Amino acid sequence: MINGMRIRSLAVLCAVVLSASGCGTGQAGGQEDRPAALEEGAMGRYVETFYELPEEINRNGGLNWLSDGTLTIISFGEGLYRSGDGGQTWEKEETAWFPMIQDVYCLAAVMGPDGTVAASCSGVMPKAAEEACTQELPEAWEGNYLVFGMPDGTVKTVAPGFTQEDGNCIESFIFKEDGRLFAGDMQGKVYEVNMEKESFRELFMAERSVGCMDFSGDTLMAVGHDRLYLYDLQEDMLLPQDGTVDAFIRQALTEGTVSYTGGGYPLTVSGSGEKDVIYLACRNGMYRHVLGGSAMEQVIDGALSTLGDSPAVIYRVKVLEEQEFLIACAPSVGLVRCKFDEGIPAMPDKELRIYSLRENRSVRQAMTDYKRTHTNLYIRYEVGLDGENGMTEEDALKRLNTQVLAGEGPDVLLLDGLPVDTWIGKGMLLDLRPVLEDLDGEDELFWNVVEGFAEADGAVYAMPVCIRVPLLVGDRDLVGGMEDLESIAEQAEQLRREYPEGGIFGIHDAETMLRLFGMVSSGAWVEDDGRMDEAAVTEFLELTKRIYDAEMAGAVPEQVERLEEEAEEMASYGTDPVQYRMEVCGNVLRIPQGYAAVAGGYVDGIQLCLDNVTSVLRMGDRLDYRILSGQVPDAFLPAAVVGIRSGTERQEEAEEFVRLMFSANTQENISEGFPVNRSAYEIHFQLYEENSGNGSMMLPMEDGTEQEIELYWPDQNERETFTEYVETLKTPVLSDDYLCGLVYESGVKVLEGERSAEEGAAEIVKKASIYLAE
């Protein structure tokens, strides 16, 4: 606890006073330029010390501080870990309660100051949990149950009354320092829990479920999607809202997400030893606020700390003495101790600028590793479309082009969605081959991917951090004949002649159909000089219309209606149904459901992605898959494509940053696709034992019944088959978002019969010419 700690000097402590300014999702630090509030030559900023967590720790309930000074973490898959040296080393402990949270989905698990444990699980109770249950439950009961483990070793399980049909359960717990336990459920109710009496006393109802909870004295604080709930535990009443904090939270949580299913929060709240002083942490840094006050003080800049990095999902923040914080982050980051150092400059004198059109997790992963060894460098990450600046995609691209042509652009660029061919043609990017050739040993890359980006002279101006692999799944004879977009159209028409009714791809939306085949064709639409190839665009529209017409000719109204209802439900939960249908992991389930004969789309990972494909293949002897090719042969989809601006004054630093992006250590944590680093690629497959169960799912069938599908981690043969496919990929399909958007916008009218393919292509090329000329 803090005794009389004060944070006063903004210049000295690198703090920025903000009026209801949130974390946002754009530039780390929340600003396009360096913080202007710093005085020239100001000294002092927070430095970080990292403590790694044991490698086996996976999803967990966050960090617990016990009254004896030890720290604990409850890993949902491994059990209890304890540290007696502030998180520097950890030891695993056997407990009586851990078997009761195994083989089910654990939502929350915390330990109180005296060692009492509370956990919430969902599923069928393990035998150990059944034996400790204090209630009589129906046979094969399934639902939400709680586990209470006492310091003396006694354990009991309690069913709070939520079942699977309720769609509700306890999803969060927190202990107060006096041992009182509080909980939140999925519907927004916050309770005080009496473990002895097994009772729940409702304190208040939030509009939605709450995220991080903590205490400021006798005030319970809970982060809502648009406000901070403040509940007076002495007076048993909800306190008036704090307008400054609420405005901050609304700006920080632009998507309304308060917690992550994998654990942790996008924003945490923490009490301190000072009366009414609280701290909020998010991507833009750490902020201090006096409840009822009008200012938010930024005490740690996210651009200068791990907080600004995507992998740094926050689990808990502890305010320590003498201007010091302990931050528990996702297992890949570990614990971070932040301590103020008066002897270093408040702002580094060098700056490395990084740009992406949209937020990119791979960049932030590399920033995490880079900043640990480059404390003298300020990393400015700019996002063209950050959701806050009101820019359109066209505006963002024009602005970036202007900067780069003037020699004032970023040093490192993520080229996804940008006109890469045009930039290469104008000499705006550096050759990366010397950097990539330095990578060997554990940092060796898939060289077929590297050579796919090589120009005629061998230069490599752009390189993806990871790749997505487009697949086509179905009857082996059927998909065996689908070698390119033309043969896909021929096979779809033949299938419709043989089967007048039923789904082919199970796609009845013109835009979705265009985007699915466009993602493996768009590379053919642009000529070497950067202009649109009208003949290639016309061919794409003609062939895709043939596939769409064959699909719609035998569409079953009941199936179309069910799929439309599913899409509407996805959209209501914030999932883009069109983007979802670009992934084969969902489309492949349409085959056993009876909605489709063929599934197309990309895989970008193993769990709940490639394993969906391989598990469905185990359901039928005739099912198989191959690479999905459109107008581009042997295609792969690059993600997080990196380049270095020619003329940068930070070439050495930029090359070092890019080299780090392809290192095994950084690529192990890539989640946007399969790593292009071979060692990291192998590690992704080794995360789970082959053939081990990966859960199951219930599929609603066409006839109204349900079928359970078991998911398995790919075995050795399945892994080798997929890797052989990866090694044959030769052609990257880069997409200029603006040009592709023109094709899809006009293409919808073509597929729906409002104009011919020739008319649509002519309109596209005309608009593209204006855009490229600018």
Q: How many residues does the chain have?
A: 774
Provide mean pLDDT across the span 584-602: 95
**CB hemisphere CA count around 164 (13 angstroms):** 9
At the top level of CATH, the class of 467-636+679-773 is alpha beta
Which helix or strand (DSSP H or E) is residue 355 part of?
A: strand 350-356
Higher pLDDT, 243 or 6: 243
Q: Are 147 and 130 in contact (CB under 8 A)?
A: no
pLDDT at 99 over 60: yes
Q: Could you tell me the pLDDT band of residue 477, with boundaries at 50, 70 and 90? A: very high
SS3 649: coil
Q: Which residues neighbour 326 within 8 Å (Cβ) at sequence distance 6 or greater?
A: 63, 86, 87, 317, 318, 320, 335, 336, 337, 338
pLDDT at 36 over 50: no
Higher pLDDT, 84 or 620: 84
pLDDT at 15 over 80: no
pLDDT at 254 over 90: no
Q: Are 490 and 536 in contact (CB under 8 A)?
A: no
Q: How far apart are CA 667 and CA 466, in angstroms?
A: 8
Q: Which residues neighbour 415 within 8 Å (Cβ) at sequence distance 6 or greater?
A: 423, 462, 641, 642, 643, 734
Whole-number pLDDT of residue 409: 87
The closest alpha carbon to 53, from 386, 439, 336, belongs to 336
Q: Which residues neighbour 717 within 8 Å (Cβ) at sequence distance 6 or greater?
A: none
Higher pLDDT, 42 or 579: 579
pLDDT at 12 over 70: no
User: Which value, to the nearest 10 degrees, does the dihedral of the CA atoms of residues 98, 101, 102, 106 take?
Assistant: -130
Q: Could you tell me the pLDDT band of residue 71, with boundaries at 50, 70 and 90? A: very high
pLDDT at 506 over 90: yes
Whole-number pLDDT of residue 358: 87
Whole-number pLDDT of residue 394: 81
Q: How far apart are CA 264 and CA 251, in angstroms?
A: 19
Whole-number pLDDT of residue 611: 93
Q: What is the pLDDT of residues 285-313, one digit of tens each?
A: 999 999 999 999 999 988 788 888 766 68
Residue with tokens 């599934």: 599
Task: For 613-662, list the strands marked E by DSSP.
Answer: 623-627, 635-644
Q: Phi, psi at residue 414, to the nearest 5°?
A: -90, 115
Q: What is the pLDDT of residues 264-276, one digit of tens each?
A: 999 999 999 889 9
Q: Could you tell me the pLDDT band of residue 343, with boundaries at 50, 70 and 90? A: confident
Q: Could you tell me the pLDDT band of residue 670, with boundaries at 50, 70 and 90? A: confident
Three-state secondary structure of 488-543: HHHHHHHHHHHCCCCCCCCCCCHHHHHHHHHCCCHHHCECCCCCECHHHHHHHHHH
Whole-number pLDDT of residue 39: 55
Provide mean pLDDT across the span 653-667: 93
Whole-number pLDDT of residue 344: 83
Residue with tokens 């997400």: 257
Q: At CA 311, angle to CA 73 and CA 383, rounded to 5? A: 155
Q: Is 467-636+679-773 the same fold as 361-465+640-673?
A: yes
DSSP state of 201: E
Q: How far apart are CA 580 and CA 567, in angstroms?
A: 9
Q: Burial of 730 by CB count in 10 Å (0-12 exposed, 13-18 middle, 19+ buried)? A: middle
Q: What is the largest CA-CA distance in the chain?
A: 81
Mark residue 425 as left, alpha or beta (left: phi above 0; alpha: psi -120 to 50; beta: remaining).
Answer: alpha
Q: Could you tell me the pLDDT band of residue 110, with boundaries at 50, 70 and 90? A: very high
Whole-number pLDDT of residue 11: 27
pTM over cut 0.95? no
The superfamily (CATH) of domain 361-465+640-673 is Periplasmic binding protein-like II (3.40.190.10)
Joined together, the tokens standing for residue 394 give 């066209």
Q: Phi, psi at residue 265, to the nearest 5°?
A: -140, 155
Q: How far apart are CA 170 and CA 120, in angstroms?
A: 6
Which helix or strand (DSSP H or E) is residue 611 part of?
A: helix 611-617
Burial 85-107 (b: 16+ CB within 10 A, else e): eebeebeeeebebbbbbeebebb
Whole-number pLDDT of residue 9: 27
**CB hemisphere CA count around 681 (13 angstroms):** 23
Higher pLDDT, 91 or 263: 91
The closest alpha carbon to 725, from 584, 547, 537, belongs to 584
pLDDT at 320 over 80: yes
Q: What is the mean pLDDT of the chain?
A: 88
Q: How far apart are CA 104 and CA 541, in angstroms?
A: 48
% residues pLDDT > 70 (the chain) = 93
Q: Which residues neighbour 239 within 8 Å (Cβ) at sequence distance 6 or greater?
A: 219, 230, 231, 232
Whole-number pLDDT of residue 311: 64
Joined together, the tokens standing for residue 134 give 């204090």
Whole-number pLDDT of residue 45: 84
Domain ranges of the chain: 43-57+211-340, 95-205, 361-465+640-673, 467-636+679-773
Distance of CA 423 to the CA centre of its chain: 29
